[in-house]
Structure 1
Amino acid sequence: MIDLTLIGIGTGSPGHLTRQAIAAMLDSDLILIPDKGEDKADLAFLREALCRQVLPSPPPLARFPMPRRDDAQGYLPGVRDWHDAIACSWLQVLESHRASRPSLLIWGDPSLYDSSLRIARHLSARMALNLRVIPGITAIQALCAAHAIPLNDLGQPVIVTTGRRLRDQGWPSGADRIVVLLDGECSFDRLDPLGVTIWWGAYLGMPQQILHSGPLAQAGPEITRIRARARAAHGWIMDSYLLARP
Protein backbone atom coordinates (compact mmCIF):
# COMPACT_ATOMS: atom_id res chain seq x y z
CA MET A 1 0.00 0.00 0.00
CA ILE A 2 1.31 3.45 -1.02
CA ASP A 3 0.18 6.45 1.05
CA LEU A 4 0.16 9.30 -1.49
CA THR A 5 -0.40 12.88 -0.28
CA LEU A 6 -1.34 15.76 -2.56
CA ILE A 7 -0.28 18.99 -0.85
CA GLY A 8 -1.69 22.36 -1.88
CA ILE A 9 1.14 24.90 -1.63
CA GLY A 10 -0.61 28.10 -2.68
CA THR A 11 0.54 30.32 -5.51
CA GLY A 12 4.24 30.71 -4.93
CA SER A 13 4.80 32.29 -1.52
CA PRO A 14 6.25 30.20 1.33
CA GLY A 15 3.78 32.11 3.53
CA HIS A 16 0.92 30.29 1.81
CA LEU A 17 1.97 26.95 3.31
CA THR A 18 -0.18 25.82 6.22
CA ARG A 19 1.21 23.99 9.23
CA GLN A 20 -0.67 20.93 8.00
CA ALA A 21 1.12 21.17 4.65
CA ILE A 22 4.55 21.48 6.26
CA ALA A 23 3.82 18.53 8.56
CA ALA A 24 2.76 16.41 5.57
CA MET A 25 5.94 17.35 3.68
CA LEU A 26 8.08 16.36 6.68
CA ASP A 27 6.24 13.04 6.95
CA SER A 28 6.92 12.17 3.30
CA ASP A 29 9.70 9.78 2.33
CA LEU A 30 9.78 11.22 -1.20
CA ILE A 31 8.54 14.45 -2.79
CA LEU A 32 7.78 14.23 -6.50
CA ILE A 33 8.67 17.28 -8.61
CA PRO A 34 7.24 17.62 -12.14
CA ASP A 35 9.82 18.46 -14.79
CA LYS A 36 8.11 20.34 -17.64
CA GLY A 37 11.21 21.00 -19.71
CA GLU A 38 13.68 23.84 -20.01
CA ASP A 39 11.15 26.55 -20.82
CA LYS A 40 9.36 25.89 -17.49
CA ALA A 41 12.38 24.86 -15.42
CA ASP A 42 11.66 27.68 -12.94
CA LEU A 43 8.55 25.84 -11.73
CA ALA A 44 10.61 22.81 -10.65
CA PHE A 45 13.27 25.05 -9.07
CA LEU A 46 10.59 26.95 -7.15
CA ARG A 47 9.17 23.76 -5.64
CA GLU A 48 12.66 22.56 -4.69
CA ALA A 49 13.56 25.94 -3.19
CA LEU A 50 10.31 25.92 -1.23
CA CYS A 51 11.23 22.56 0.32
CA ARG A 52 14.69 23.79 1.29
CA GLN A 53 13.29 27.02 2.72
CA VAL A 54 10.58 25.62 4.99
CA LEU A 55 11.89 22.16 5.91
CA PRO A 56 14.86 21.79 8.26
CA SER A 57 15.70 18.42 6.68
CA PRO A 58 13.80 17.80 3.43
CA PRO A 59 13.05 14.25 2.32
CA PRO A 60 14.51 13.13 -1.01
CA LEU A 61 13.22 15.10 -4.00
CA ALA A 62 12.67 13.28 -7.29
CA ARG A 63 11.85 14.92 -10.60
CA PHE A 64 9.63 13.08 -13.04
CA PRO A 65 9.24 13.96 -16.74
CA MET A 66 5.87 15.45 -17.70
CA PRO A 67 4.57 13.87 -20.91
CA ARG A 68 3.19 16.19 -23.56
CA ARG A 69 -0.52 16.23 -24.30
CA ASP A 70 -1.68 15.17 -27.77
CA ASP A 71 -5.08 16.58 -28.75
CA ALA A 72 -5.10 15.03 -32.23
CA GLN A 73 -8.09 12.85 -31.27
CA GLY A 74 -9.89 15.70 -29.50
CA TYR A 75 -9.43 17.63 -26.27
CA LEU A 76 -11.05 15.26 -23.74
CA PRO A 77 -9.60 12.01 -25.19
CA GLY A 78 -6.21 13.74 -25.33
CA VAL A 79 -6.46 14.76 -21.67
CA ARG A 80 -7.45 11.25 -20.57
CA ASP A 81 -4.49 9.70 -22.41
CA TRP A 82 -2.21 12.40 -21.01
CA HIS A 83 -3.34 11.69 -17.44
CA ASP A 84 -2.67 8.00 -17.93
CA ALA A 85 0.84 8.77 -19.24
CA ILE A 86 1.55 10.98 -16.21
CA ALA A 87 0.37 8.21 -13.87
CA CYS A 88 2.87 5.88 -15.55
CA SER A 89 5.60 8.47 -14.98
CA TRP A 90 4.67 8.67 -11.28
CA LEU A 91 4.73 4.89 -11.01
CA GLN A 92 8.22 4.61 -12.48
CA VAL A 93 9.63 7.09 -9.96
CA LEU A 94 7.85 5.49 -7.00
CA GLU A 95 9.10 2.03 -7.95
CA SER A 96 12.68 3.22 -8.50
CA HIS A 97 12.77 4.95 -5.08
CA ARG A 98 10.67 2.30 -3.28
CA ALA A 99 8.72 5.09 -1.61
CA SER A 100 5.80 4.23 0.67
CA ARG A 101 4.79 7.79 1.76
CA PRO A 102 5.34 9.99 -1.31
CA SER A 103 3.81 13.42 -1.82
CA LEU A 104 3.26 15.89 -4.63
CA LEU A 105 3.31 19.66 -4.21
CA ILE A 106 0.28 21.09 -5.99
CA TRP A 107 0.22 24.72 -7.13
CA GLY A 108 -2.85 26.35 -5.58
CA ASP A 109 -5.31 23.75 -4.29
CA PRO A 110 -5.63 20.15 -5.55
CA SER A 111 -9.41 20.52 -5.94
CA LEU A 112 -9.52 23.48 -8.35
CA TYR A 113 -8.61 22.99 -12.02
CA ASP A 114 -5.75 20.66 -11.18
CA SER A 115 -5.49 17.16 -12.64
CA SER A 116 -3.60 15.41 -9.85
CA LEU A 117 -6.69 13.86 -8.24
CA ARG A 118 -7.75 12.41 -11.59
CA ILE A 119 -4.22 11.19 -12.31
CA ALA A 120 -4.19 9.48 -8.90
CA ARG A 121 -7.25 7.49 -10.01
CA HIS A 122 -5.26 6.25 -13.01
CA LEU A 123 -2.43 5.30 -10.64
CA SER A 124 -4.81 3.43 -8.31
CA ALA A 125 -5.65 1.11 -11.21
CA ARG A 126 -2.00 0.00 -11.21
CA MET A 127 -1.22 -0.24 -7.47
CA ALA A 128 -2.82 -0.22 -4.02
CA LEU A 129 -3.16 3.45 -3.15
CA ASN A 130 -4.31 5.39 -0.09
CA LEU A 131 -4.86 9.03 -1.04
CA ARG A 132 -4.75 12.07 1.26
CA VAL A 133 -5.28 15.71 0.24
CA ILE A 134 -4.00 18.82 2.04
CA PRO A 135 -5.87 21.98 0.94
CA GLY A 136 -4.02 25.06 -0.26
CA ILE A 137 -4.62 28.72 -1.09
CA THR A 138 -6.11 29.06 -4.57
CA ALA A 139 -5.24 31.54 -7.30
CA ILE A 140 -8.73 32.99 -6.78
CA GLN A 141 -8.01 33.78 -3.13
CA ALA A 142 -4.59 35.21 -3.96
CA LEU A 143 -6.03 37.35 -6.79
CA CYS A 144 -8.77 38.89 -4.65
CA ALA A 145 -6.36 39.50 -1.77
CA ALA A 146 -3.79 41.15 -4.04
CA HIS A 147 -6.41 43.56 -5.41
CA ALA A 148 -8.14 43.93 -1.99
CA ILE A 149 -11.55 43.14 -3.49
CA PRO A 150 -14.38 40.76 -2.55
CA LEU A 151 -14.95 37.80 -4.81
CA ASN A 152 -18.72 38.23 -5.02
CA ASP A 153 -21.10 41.17 -5.10
CA LEU A 154 -23.73 41.43 -2.35
CA GLY A 155 -25.82 38.26 -2.33
CA GLN A 156 -24.69 37.37 -5.87
CA PRO A 157 -23.13 34.20 -7.31
CA VAL A 158 -19.75 33.83 -9.00
CA ILE A 159 -18.92 31.43 -11.82
CA VAL A 160 -15.44 29.90 -12.14
CA THR A 161 -14.58 28.91 -15.70
CA THR A 162 -11.68 28.50 -18.12
CA GLY A 163 -10.32 30.51 -21.01
CA ARG A 164 -11.30 27.73 -23.40
CA ARG A 165 -14.97 27.90 -22.38
CA LEU A 166 -15.00 31.70 -22.42
CA ARG A 167 -13.66 31.64 -26.00
CA ASP A 168 -16.09 28.96 -27.17
CA GLN A 169 -19.25 29.98 -25.32
CA GLY A 170 -18.86 33.61 -24.28
CA TRP A 171 -19.99 35.01 -20.95
CA PRO A 172 -21.66 32.16 -19.00
CA SER A 173 -25.26 32.68 -17.94
CA GLY A 174 -26.22 32.84 -14.29
CA ALA A 175 -23.75 35.37 -12.87
CA ASP A 176 -22.42 38.87 -13.48
CA ARG A 177 -19.03 38.01 -11.97
CA ILE A 178 -16.77 35.32 -13.40
CA VAL A 179 -13.29 34.11 -12.55
CA VAL A 180 -11.26 32.81 -15.49
CA LEU A 181 -8.39 30.34 -15.05
CA LEU A 182 -6.14 28.50 -17.52
CA ASP A 183 -6.37 31.19 -20.19
CA GLY A 184 -3.31 31.33 -22.40
CA GLU A 185 -4.97 33.45 -25.10
CA CYS A 186 -6.40 36.50 -23.27
CA SER A 187 -9.91 35.33 -24.10
CA PHE A 188 -11.44 38.43 -22.52
CA ASP A 189 -10.74 40.18 -25.82
CA ARG A 190 -13.62 38.18 -27.38
CA LEU A 191 -16.17 39.86 -25.08
CA ASP A 192 -18.15 43.05 -25.51
CA PRO A 193 -16.19 45.27 -23.06
CA LEU A 194 -19.02 47.74 -22.44
CA GLY A 195 -19.42 48.16 -18.68
CA VAL A 196 -17.07 45.25 -17.83
CA THR A 197 -14.30 45.63 -15.22
CA ILE A 198 -11.30 43.31 -15.03
CA TRP A 199 -8.92 42.51 -12.16
CA TRP A 200 -5.92 40.53 -13.48
CA GLY A 201 -2.88 39.06 -11.77
CA ALA A 202 0.14 37.00 -12.78
CA TYR A 203 2.79 35.20 -10.66
CA LEU A 204 0.51 35.75 -7.67
CA GLY A 205 2.34 35.49 -4.37
CA MET A 206 5.78 35.58 -5.98
CA PRO A 207 8.34 38.42 -5.98
CA GLN A 208 7.59 39.05 -9.67
CA GLN A 209 3.84 39.42 -9.08
CA ILE A 210 2.10 41.70 -11.62
CA LEU A 211 -1.35 43.26 -11.17
CA HIS A 212 -3.53 45.33 -13.45
CA SER A 213 -7.19 46.34 -13.33
CA GLY A 214 -9.72 48.74 -14.78
CA PRO A 215 -12.44 48.99 -17.42
CA LEU A 216 -11.97 46.09 -19.85
CA ALA A 217 -11.98 48.37 -22.90
CA GLN A 218 -8.83 50.13 -21.68
CA ALA A 219 -7.21 47.55 -19.40
CA GLY A 220 -7.66 44.54 -21.70
CA PRO A 221 -5.20 45.59 -24.44
CA GLU A 222 -2.67 46.70 -21.81
CA ILE A 223 -2.94 43.34 -19.99
CA THR A 224 -2.33 41.55 -23.29
CA ARG A 225 0.89 43.55 -23.80
CA ILE A 226 2.05 43.11 -20.20
CA ARG A 227 1.37 39.37 -20.34
CA ALA A 228 3.33 38.89 -23.56
CA ARG A 229 6.36 40.76 -22.17
CA ALA A 230 6.29 38.82 -18.89
CA ARG A 231 6.02 35.46 -20.62
CA ALA A 232 8.94 36.31 -22.91
CA ALA A 233 11.04 37.41 -19.92
CA HIS A 234 10.36 34.38 -17.71
CA GLY A 235 9.60 31.66 -20.26
CA TRP A 236 6.28 30.84 -18.55
CA ILE A 237 3.35 32.60 -16.92
CA MET A 238 0.50 31.65 -14.62
CA ASP A 239 -2.29 34.20 -14.38
CA SER A 240 -5.98 34.55 -13.62
CA TYR A 241 -8.60 37.29 -13.64
CA LEU A 242 -11.98 38.33 -12.35
CA LEU A 243 -14.54 39.99 -14.63
CA ALA A 244 -17.58 41.93 -13.43
CA ARG A 245 -20.41 43.60 -15.30
CA PRO A 246 -23.30 45.71 -13.99
Structure 2
Amino acid sequence: MSKQRTVVITGAGTGIGEACARLFASRGARVALIGRRRAPLERVARETGGLALDGDAASAADWQRFIAAIKADGGAVDALIACAGGFGTGTATETDDAAWSAAMRANLDTAFVAARACLPDLIERRGAIVLVASIASLAAGPAVCGYTTSKHALIGLTRSLARDYGPHGVRVNAVCPGWVRTPMADAEMQPLMQRYDDTLDAAYQRVCADVPLRRPAHAEEIAGICEFLASPAASIVTGATLVADGGSSIVDVPTLAFDHL
Protein backbone atom coordinates (compact mmCIF):
# COMPACT_ATOMS: atom_id res chain seq x y z
CA MET A 1 0.00 0.00 0.00
CA SER A 2 1.07 3.56 -0.66
CA LYS A 3 2.60 5.36 2.31
CA GLN A 4 1.55 8.76 0.98
CA ARG A 5 -1.87 9.75 2.25
CA THR A 6 -4.57 10.00 -0.43
CA VAL A 7 -7.34 12.53 0.13
CA VAL A 8 -10.38 12.56 -2.16
CA ILE A 9 -12.14 15.91 -2.47
CA THR A 10 -15.46 16.46 -4.22
CA GLY A 11 -16.37 19.89 -5.53
CA ALA A 12 -12.63 20.43 -5.82
CA GLY A 13 -12.56 22.90 -8.70
CA THR A 14 -13.60 26.02 -6.78
CA GLY A 15 -14.43 27.40 -3.36
CA ILE A 16 -13.96 25.31 -0.23
CA GLY A 17 -13.06 22.22 -2.26
CA GLU A 18 -10.27 24.04 -4.05
CA ALA A 19 -8.97 25.44 -0.77
CA CYS A 20 -8.99 21.93 0.72
CA ALA A 21 -7.05 20.60 -2.27
CA ARG A 22 -4.38 23.25 -1.87
CA LEU A 23 -4.08 22.76 1.89
CA PHE A 24 -3.90 18.96 1.85
CA ALA A 25 -1.41 19.01 -1.02
CA SER A 26 0.76 21.50 0.89
CA ARG A 27 0.82 19.02 3.77
CA GLY A 28 2.16 16.29 1.51
CA ALA A 29 -1.02 14.42 0.63
CA ARG A 30 -1.88 13.05 -2.79
CA VAL A 31 -5.17 14.74 -3.72
CA ALA A 32 -7.83 13.30 -6.03
CA LEU A 33 -9.96 16.15 -7.32
CA ILE A 34 -13.56 15.40 -8.31
CA GLY A 35 -15.98 17.80 -9.96
CA ARG A 36 -18.27 18.31 -12.93
CA ARG A 37 -16.18 20.86 -14.82
CA ARG A 38 -12.90 19.69 -16.30
CA ALA A 39 -11.20 23.08 -16.77
CA PRO A 40 -11.11 24.22 -13.11
CA LEU A 41 -10.16 20.72 -11.97
CA GLU A 42 -7.20 20.66 -14.35
CA ARG A 43 -6.10 24.10 -13.15
CA VAL A 44 -6.14 23.02 -9.50
CA ALA A 45 -4.48 19.70 -10.41
CA ARG A 46 -1.62 21.49 -12.17
CA GLU A 47 -1.05 23.69 -9.14
CA THR A 48 -1.29 20.91 -6.54
CA GLY A 49 0.03 17.88 -8.39
CA GLY A 50 -3.39 16.31 -7.95
CA LEU A 51 -5.38 13.86 -10.03
CA ALA A 52 -8.28 15.53 -11.89
CA LEU A 53 -11.38 13.33 -12.26
CA ASP A 54 -14.37 14.99 -13.88
CA GLY A 55 -17.83 13.51 -13.48
CA ASP A 56 -20.90 13.41 -11.29
CA ALA A 57 -20.18 12.82 -7.59
CA ALA A 58 -23.75 11.51 -7.20
CA SER A 59 -23.26 8.79 -9.83
CA ALA A 60 -22.34 5.28 -8.66
CA ALA A 61 -21.05 4.49 -12.15
CA ASP A 62 -18.75 7.51 -12.11
CA TRP A 63 -17.45 6.49 -8.70
CA GLN A 64 -16.41 3.11 -10.04
CA ARG A 65 -14.31 5.02 -12.56
CA PHE A 66 -12.97 7.43 -9.94
CA ILE A 67 -11.88 4.69 -7.54
CA ALA A 68 -10.25 2.71 -10.35
CA ALA A 69 -8.29 5.80 -11.43
CA ILE A 70 -7.20 6.56 -7.86
CA LYS A 71 -5.92 3.01 -7.41
CA ALA A 72 -4.19 3.11 -10.80
CA ASP A 73 -2.47 6.28 -9.65
CA GLY A 74 -1.04 4.32 -6.75
CA GLY A 75 -3.35 5.26 -3.93
CA ALA A 76 -6.10 3.99 -1.68
CA VAL A 77 -8.49 6.45 -0.07
CA ASP A 78 -7.38 7.66 3.37
CA ALA A 79 -9.83 10.55 3.68
CA LEU A 80 -12.88 11.89 1.88
CA ILE A 81 -13.75 15.59 2.01
CA ALA A 82 -17.24 15.97 0.53
CA CYS A 83 -17.58 19.58 -0.60
CA ALA A 84 -19.84 19.15 -3.63
CA GLY A 85 -23.11 21.02 -3.35
CA GLY A 86 -25.51 23.34 -5.08
CA PHE A 87 -28.54 25.53 -4.79
CA GLY A 88 -32.07 24.55 -3.84
CA THR A 89 -33.98 27.81 -3.96
CA GLY A 90 -37.69 28.42 -3.67
CA THR A 91 -40.43 27.77 -1.14
CA ALA A 92 -42.17 24.38 -1.13
CA THR A 93 -44.92 25.55 -3.48
CA GLU A 94 -42.32 27.07 -5.81
CA THR A 95 -40.27 23.86 -5.93
CA ASP A 96 -41.33 21.35 -8.56
CA ASP A 97 -40.28 17.71 -8.59
CA ALA A 98 -37.29 18.33 -10.83
CA ALA A 99 -35.96 21.17 -8.66
CA TRP A 100 -36.43 19.10 -5.49
CA SER A 101 -34.59 16.14 -6.99
CA ALA A 102 -31.79 18.41 -8.20
CA ALA A 103 -31.32 19.89 -4.71
CA MET A 104 -31.21 16.45 -3.10
CA ARG A 105 -28.79 15.15 -5.72
CA ALA A 106 -26.42 18.13 -5.48
CA ASN A 107 -26.30 18.43 -1.69
CA LEU A 108 -27.10 14.99 -0.26
CA ASP A 109 -26.62 12.30 -2.90
CA THR A 110 -23.13 13.54 -3.75
CA ALA A 111 -22.06 12.99 -0.14
CA PHE A 112 -23.83 9.66 0.29
CA VAL A 113 -22.62 8.10 -2.95
CA ALA A 114 -19.08 9.39 -2.39
CA ALA A 115 -18.97 7.96 1.14
CA ARG A 116 -20.36 4.61 0.02
CA ALA A 117 -17.78 4.33 -2.75
CA CYS A 118 -14.85 5.26 -0.50
CA LEU A 119 -15.81 3.20 2.56
CA PRO A 120 -14.08 -0.05 1.56
CA ASP A 121 -10.74 1.79 1.43
CA LEU A 122 -11.55 3.90 4.48
CA ILE A 123 -12.30 0.78 6.53
CA GLU A 124 -9.03 -0.79 5.44
CA ARG A 125 -7.07 2.40 6.17
CA ARG A 126 -9.05 3.44 9.26
CA GLY A 127 -9.71 6.71 7.49
CA ALA A 128 -11.90 9.75 7.89
CA ILE A 129 -14.83 11.46 6.19
CA VAL A 130 -15.64 15.15 6.47
CA LEU A 131 -18.98 16.29 5.08
CA VAL A 132 -19.17 20.00 4.34
CA ALA A 133 -22.67 20.93 5.43
CA SER A 134 -23.90 24.45 6.26
CA ILE A 135 -25.58 26.54 8.91
CA ALA A 136 -28.57 25.70 6.69
CA SER A 137 -28.17 22.27 8.31
CA LEU A 138 -29.21 23.89 11.59
CA ALA A 139 -31.69 26.64 10.69
CA ALA A 140 -33.87 27.74 7.78
CA GLY A 141 -33.29 30.71 5.54
CA PRO A 142 -36.09 32.21 3.44
CA ALA A 143 -37.20 30.43 0.28
CA VAL A 144 -34.49 27.76 0.20
CA CYS A 145 -36.60 24.70 0.94
CA GLY A 146 -34.58 22.18 -1.07
CA TYR A 147 -31.23 23.49 0.12
CA THR A 148 -32.25 23.62 3.79
CA THR A 149 -33.77 20.13 3.75
CA SER A 150 -30.84 18.51 1.97
CA LYS A 151 -28.29 20.21 4.21
CA HIS A 152 -30.20 19.13 7.33
CA ALA A 153 -30.07 15.58 5.99
CA LEU A 154 -26.26 15.73 5.86
CA ILE A 155 -26.20 15.84 9.65
CA GLY A 156 -28.24 12.65 9.77
CA LEU A 157 -25.90 11.06 7.24
CA THR A 158 -22.90 12.09 9.35
CA ARG A 159 -24.33 10.49 12.46
CA SER A 160 -25.44 7.32 10.71
CA LEU A 161 -22.05 6.78 9.09
CA ALA A 162 -20.22 7.58 12.32
CA ARG A 163 -22.27 5.05 14.27
CA ASP A 164 -22.09 2.26 11.70
CA TYR A 165 -18.43 2.57 10.76
CA GLY A 166 -16.84 3.78 13.99
CA PRO A 167 -16.29 0.16 15.05
CA HIS A 168 -14.23 -0.20 11.86
CA GLY A 169 -12.04 2.76 12.81
CA VAL A 170 -13.66 5.23 10.38
CA ARG A 171 -14.38 8.70 11.74
CA VAL A 172 -17.12 10.86 10.19
CA ASN A 173 -17.74 14.50 11.02
CA ALA A 174 -19.57 17.49 9.55
CA VAL A 175 -18.56 21.13 9.19
CA CYS A 176 -21.27 23.79 9.11
CA PRO A 177 -19.94 27.04 7.65
CA GLY A 178 -21.85 30.28 7.60
CA TRP A 179 -21.15 32.79 4.84
CA VAL A 180 -17.92 31.93 3.04
CA ARG A 181 -16.47 34.03 0.23
CA THR A 182 -16.75 31.60 -2.68
CA PRO A 183 -18.06 31.89 -6.24
CA MET A 184 -21.36 30.34 -5.11
CA ALA A 185 -21.78 32.85 -2.30
CA ASP A 186 -20.73 35.70 -4.60
CA ALA A 187 -23.68 34.77 -6.83
CA GLU A 188 -26.00 34.85 -3.82
CA MET A 189 -24.89 38.43 -3.11
CA GLN A 190 -26.13 39.68 -6.49
CA PRO A 191 -29.75 40.45 -5.43
CA LEU A 192 -28.46 42.53 -2.50
CA MET A 193 -25.99 44.33 -4.73
CA GLN A 194 -28.79 45.22 -7.13
CA ARG A 195 -31.33 46.14 -4.45
CA TYR A 196 -29.02 48.40 -2.44
CA ASP A 197 -26.50 49.37 -5.12
CA ASP A 198 -23.87 47.63 -3.01
CA THR A 199 -20.41 46.48 -3.96
CA LEU A 200 -19.68 42.81 -3.38
CA ASP A 201 -17.74 43.68 -0.23
CA ALA A 202 -20.62 45.80 1.06
CA ALA A 203 -23.11 43.01 0.39
CA TYR A 204 -21.04 40.60 2.46
CA GLN A 205 -20.88 43.17 5.25
CA ARG A 206 -24.66 43.54 5.05
CA VAL A 207 -25.31 39.82 5.53
CA CYS A 208 -22.76 39.73 8.38
CA ALA A 209 -24.08 42.80 10.19
CA ASP A 210 -25.48 40.69 13.06
CA VAL A 211 -22.75 38.03 13.01
CA PRO A 212 -20.60 38.39 16.16
CA LEU A 213 -17.33 38.33 14.17
CA ARG A 214 -18.87 40.73 11.62
CA ARG A 215 -17.37 39.05 8.56
CA PRO A 216 -17.69 36.03 6.27
CA ALA A 217 -15.15 33.22 6.37
CA HIS A 218 -12.47 32.66 3.79
CA ALA A 219 -12.47 29.27 2.09
CA GLU A 220 -9.01 28.62 3.52
CA GLU A 221 -10.39 28.88 7.07
CA ILE A 222 -12.96 26.16 6.39
CA ALA A 223 -10.29 24.04 4.69
CA GLY A 224 -8.23 24.25 7.87
CA ILE A 225 -11.12 22.84 9.87
CA CYS A 226 -11.58 20.01 7.37
CA GLU A 227 -7.86 19.24 7.56
CA PHE A 228 -8.03 19.11 11.36
CA LEU A 229 -11.04 16.77 11.40
CA ALA A 230 -9.34 14.42 8.93
CA SER A 231 -6.08 14.43 10.89
CA PRO A 232 -4.76 12.36 13.82
CA ALA A 233 -5.22 15.46 15.98
CA ALA A 234 -8.97 14.70 15.89
CA SER A 235 -8.52 10.97 16.48
CA ILE A 236 -11.27 10.76 19.12
CA VAL A 237 -13.74 13.03 17.29
CA THR A 238 -16.54 11.37 15.33
CA GLY A 239 -20.21 12.09 14.74
CA ALA A 240 -19.57 15.75 15.54
CA THR A 241 -20.99 18.85 13.90
CA LEU A 242 -18.45 21.67 14.00
CA VAL A 243 -20.09 25.04 13.39
CA ALA A 244 -17.86 27.61 11.68
CA ASP A 245 -20.15 30.60 11.18
CA GLY A 246 -18.51 33.52 12.95
CA GLY A 247 -20.98 33.05 15.78
CA SER A 248 -24.15 33.71 13.79
CA SER A 249 -25.98 30.63 15.09
CA ILE A 250 -25.57 31.73 18.74
CA VAL A 251 -27.40 35.03 18.22
CA ASP A 252 -30.76 35.32 19.95
CA VAL A 253 -32.69 36.84 17.06
CA PRO A 254 -35.56 38.29 19.14
CA THR A 255 -33.07 40.43 21.08
CA LEU A 256 -31.48 42.07 18.03
CA ALA A 257 -33.68 45.14 18.41
CA PHE A 258 -31.93 45.89 21.70
CA ASP A 259 -28.60 46.34 19.88
CA HIS A 260 -29.89 49.64 18.53
CA LEU A 261 -31.08 51.20 21.82
Answer yes or no: same fold by TM over 0.5. no
Q: TM-score, normalised by structure 2?
A: 0.35
Instruction: Compare the two structures and name the one with the higher strand fraction.
Output: 1
Instruction: Compare the two structures and name the one with the higher helix fraction.
Output: 2
Greater RCO (Cα-Cα under 8 Å, separation 6 or more): 1
Q: TM-score, normalised by structure 1?
A: 0.37
